[in-house]
Structure 1
Amino acid sequence: MKFFITALDTSGIITLRRDSVPAAMKKATELLSDGCLNVEIHTPDGAAYSPGQFEQLREQVQA
């Protein structure tokens, strides 16, 4: 599956792809710690998760 991480930094919009939820969450967390704004993880079904919803995404995958 493909998960996309989007964020905004000083140079513009960033879009990255990861193949799993753990990898997407790791990168999204790194972007947040680097000071990026509007960080979201987009799932293959089109849902978007903001940082406050990352744990919900993790729980859905584990279920």
Structure 2
Amino acid sequence: MRFLITAQDTAGSVTLNRESVPAALKKARELISDGCWDVEIATPDGTIYRPAQFDALKEQVGA
């Protein structure tokens, strides 16, 4: 499965992909720590999760 992480930083838009929910959550949180904004995780089915929903994503997949 492929999870897309998108974010904005001072240089523009960033899009990364990870193969698992734990890896996607880790990278998304790193981006937030680095000062990025508008951070989102898109699941393979197209559902978008924003930072306030990251715990729900983790619980939903049992990660």
Query: TM-score band (shorter)?
Result: over 0.9
User: In the alignment, which residue of structure 2 is the partner of 1:4?
Assistant: 4
User: In the alignment, which residue of structure 1 is the partner of 2:22?
Assistant: 22
Distance 1:33 1:44 in 2: 25
In structure 2, the gaps of 5 or more residues are: none
- Runs of at least 4 residues off by over 6 Å: none
TM-score for both structures, normalised by structure 1:
0.97
TM-score for both structures, normalised by structure 2:
0.97
User: In the alignment, which residue of structure 2 is the partner of 1:37?
Assistant: 37
Percent of aligned pairs sharing the same letter? 65
In structure 1, the gaps of 5 or more residues are: none
Give the length in aligned residue pairs.
Answer: 63
Superposition deviation, residue 20 in structure 1 = 0.1
User: In the alignment, which residue of structure 2 is the partner of 1:56?
Assistant: 56
